[in-house]
Amino acid sequence: MISISKLSYSFGRQLALKDINFCMKPGEFVFLCGPSGAGKTTFMRILHGALPVQRGKADVAGYDLNTLPESRKHLLRRDVSVVFQDFKILTNQTVFANVALPLKVRGIGQHIIEKRVRAVLRSLHLDHKTGAPCEELSGGEQQRVAVARAVVVKPKLLLADEPTGNLDHELSMRMMDIFQQFHKFGTSIMIATHNREIMERMADARIVTLEDGTMREGCAPSGGRP
């Protein structure tokens, strides 16, 4: 699903990623942990095609990111969904319209759109907000809309950057249940998180750590933030 070799990325003179080597098999569930500023968001943005491969090699969901032209990145994003920290939802549109958008772009029929959107919203306890403009939602509700929009297309790979950051304990656990459901249906999932509790909930998941731009297997020591 993901094959990374000697991947490095810099912002000007600041090196954000240093010779990253990483492989993720189809169907794997991976937690990406590490302190703020470690390069987790940069790494995910490269996987999604939002940042270019500056040095090294990267293959994601069958797409060679070194050679994939900008005009074909929409094909990558049909197979790779992402939940950003800043949500990137359309606040002037309704909850239903936001979640339905990626299905409409794919030319899915309205009957199927209605069925899939309402099912995902129900699973995230947003069915009572279907017709509400997203600008009227709380931060946690907007975050759940972003997750709903990402999973409704049934992607091959789901990337989620701190998806429980604005949620209380109950909603965080409920959201992990949603991720687990999609994982059981074959979706490969990578979640960047500081939350040890959700990592412990997925005892069989693989954990990798980014720190100072380098990656290693396993979690950070328990004495600090993961």
- At residue 220, the pLDDT reads 54
48 within domain boundaries: yes
What is the distance between the alpha carbons of residues 69 and 150, in angstroms, rounded to a whole number?
23
Number of structural domains found in the chain: 1
CA atoms within 13 A on the CB side of 21: 1
- Assess if residue 13 is contained within a domain: yes
pLDDT at site 155: 92
Q: Is residue 121 part of a domain?
A: no
Q: What is the pLDDT along the chain (226 residues), one digit of tens a residue?
A: 999 999 999 999 899 999 999 999 999 999 999 888 889 999 999 999 999 999 999 999 999 999 999 999 989 988 999 988 777 889 899 999 999 999 998 899 999 999 999 999 998 889 999 999 999 998 888 888 988 998 899 899 999 988 877 777 887 887 788 888 888 888 999 999 878 888 888 878 999 999 989 999 887 544 333 3
Residue 114 lies in a domain: no
43 in any annotated domain: yes
Is residue 37 situated within a structural domain? yes
Distances (CA, A) of 86 to 19, 68, 143: 27, 26, 8
Quick one: tokens of 175?
A: 């959201």
Look at residue 169 in the predicted model and tell me its pLDDT. 82
Residue 15 domain-assigned (yes or no): yes
Q: Please report the beta strands in 118-222, taking only residues with DSSP state E, as ranges in sequence order.
A: 157-161, 188-192, 206-211, 214-217
Domain holding 188, by residue range, is 2-88+155-217
User: Is 127 inside a domain boundary?
Assistant: no
* Phi/psi-derived region of residue 62, left when phi > 0, alpha when psi is between -120 and 50, beta in every other case: left
Query: C-alpha distances in angstroms, 83 versus 103, 155, 189?
Result: 16, 12, 11
The CA–CA distances, whole Å, from 101 to 31, 42, 111, 149 equal: 28, 25, 14, 8
Which secondary structure element, helix H or strand E, spans residue 173, and what is its range?
A: helix 169-184
CATH number of the CATH domain containing 192: 3.40.50.300
Q: Give the pLDDT confidence score for residue 139 in this predicted structure.
A: 83
